[in-house]
A = this chain, B = another copy of it.
Amino acid sequence: MTPTLLEEEKVFKDPVHRYIHVRYKTIWDLIDTPEFQRLRRIRQLGTTMFTFHGAEHSRFNHSLGVYEIMRRIVTKLEVLTEEERLLCLCSALLHDVGHGPFSHTFEKVFKTDHEEWTRRIIEGETEIRRVLSEVSADFPKKVSEVIGKTYPNKMIVSLISSQIDADRMDYLLRDAYYTGVNYGNFDIERILRLMRPAEEQIAIKYSGMHAVEDYIVSRYQMYWQVYFHPVTRSAEVILKKLFQRAKLLYDCNYHFRIFPEPLVPFFKDGPAKLRQYLDLDEATVIYYIREWKREEDTILSDLAERFMNRRLFKYIQYQPLDYLMWTDLQGLFEDAGLDPAYYLEFDSPSDLPYDFYRSGEEEEERLPILLLMPDGSLEELSRKSDIVQSISGKRRFDHKLYFPEDRITDEIRKRLGVN
């Protein structure tokens, strides 16, 4: 297979990587598909824009960035064949194509899985599958496997899914650029230049260790400064409650002023159809939330109004609650006429923001970052770096309680220690 090239290289202007270069016709055609264009209508950082107003960029934006980083990686990796290069590029471009609006919240409430959707979009009846099939009949499947981490060549998988992959490198740089914080910056050029194939993955030459340290610290800082920001999470809490309430109302045959047809497939238990999922975008979700402001159900309308107008829940630092305290607090909310199922949330960001390899780990296998030492041996990063060691493998929590400050009683106020 010889991938078809465009007559002349095309470029997109990109604020993070300056230019994004496209030479393969397959890439050009993929970008043009409706399924990929749909990513323009899904924000990369969901509710983060309520905290950092600059962060309004889409997954389309980010996906092009991941592609460009991958392009720079594979250009230098001489171990890859031409087809493998294209495979890497397509996987990079499409790795997020299954994301829907406000993915994390949506998935949690409606039990969907964006990775599953990615697979269905790449292998199902879509324009994307048609374009990929032009490369070869099994090419869509290969791309799907690379993204799904089941592809035999583990090195290729690691380029898009490891602790120092094209995806993460782009989102740190891009999210830093759009939010305006400078925590996310690191010397990507140096890291890319010092990548070397090593066994089934990529190692970084030891002389680049400090650049990798900087990348890890960037990641750590971005998690705590941006991704887990309590204002962002407060908006997520409200969104979650909104989805839960709408689903409950639907289940109870509530009469919606405007029936949320595009959302109904997800209210139901059975799986939605591909077309239904592809129709879903942020505009649709926001459209209904805006309409819900006028619904009769006061919980739905109140939450909708809060989300649209950014009247978010207040948060306070809080220790995990035991059963008695929790019941007690719920009682106080009920007494105040606030349904605690919707107006009281205990949240502790539970993802591991810095997740280095620990043996015996189960939930997910994590490839360590390897350093290629001057003598040719490989060493795991945290053994060499004090800084990385210090944040490696420590699950850190941020326990917070969220509630509507404008509606709580003095008694609740006193109990929570809120002035």
List A residues at the B interface (Cβ < 8 Å). 11-16, 18-19, 32-34, 37, 40-41, 49, 52-54, 56-58, 60-61, 64, 177-183, 185-187, 189-190, 193, 210, 213-214, 217, 220-221, 224-225, 258, 261, 279, 281-284, 286-287, 290, 308-311, 386-387, 389-391, 394
Which residue of B has the minimal Cβ distance to A176?
B15
Are A14 and B57 in contact (CB-based, < 8 A)?
A: no
Which residue of B has the minimal Cβ distance to A19?
B189
A19 vs B64: C-alpha distance when bound (angstroms)? 24
Also in contact, A54 and B57, with CB within 8 A (given A213-B221, A290-B283): yes
Are B284 and A290 in contact (CB-based, < 8 A)?
A: yes
Contacts of A311 in B (CB 8 A): 32
Give this chain's copy count: 4
Are A221 and B214 in contact (CB-based, < 8 A)?
A: yes
Contacts of A16 in B (CB 8 A): 54, 180
Also in contact, A14 and B53, with CB within 8 A (given A284-B287, A290-B283, A387-B220): yes
A283 vs B60: C-alpha distance when bound (angstroms)? 17
Find the residue from A11, A52, A53, A390 having the highest chain B CB count within 10 A.
A53
A303 to chain B, nearest CB (A): 15
Contacts of A394 in B (CB 8 A): 386
Interface of A is mostly: helix
A401 to chain B, nearest CB (A): 16
Task: List the 9 closest A-B pairs by CB distance, nearest first.
Answer: A390-B390, A15-B180, A283-B286, A287-B287, A283-B283, A34-B309, A15-B54, A13-B180, A283-B287
Also in contact, A52 and B13, with CB within 8 A (given A290-B281, A386-B391): yes
A–B complex contacts, Cβ < 8 Å, 16 sampled: A13-B54, A13-B179, A15-B178, A16-B180, A18-B189, A32-B311, A40-B56, A53-B60, A53-B64, A56-B58, A213-B221, A281-B286, A283-B284, A283-B286, A387-B390, A387-B391
Are A180 and B386 in contact (CB-based, < 8 A)?
A: no
A49 vs B56: C-alpha distance when bound (angstroms)? 12
Which residue of B has the minimal Cβ distance to A20?
B53
A193 vs B21: C-alpha distance when bound (angstroms)? 11
Residue in B180, B213, B308 whose beta carbon sits within 8 Å of that of A14 in the complex: B180
Which residue of B has the minimal Cβ distance to A17?
B180
Contacts of A190 in B (CB 8 A): 19
Residue in B57, B213, B221 whose beta carbon sits within 8 Å of that of A56 in the complex: B57
A36 vs B327: C-alpha distance when bound (angstroms)? 39
Find the residue from A13, A57, A290 having the highest chain B CB count within 10 A.
A13
A271 to chain B, nearest CB (A): 22
Known: A40-B49, A40-B53, A182-B185. 15 other contacts (CB 8 A): A11-B193, A13-B52, A14-B54, A15-B179, A18-B180, A19-B189, A19-B190, A41-B286, A53-B58, A53-B61, A56-B61, A185-B185, A217-B387, A283-B284, A390-B390
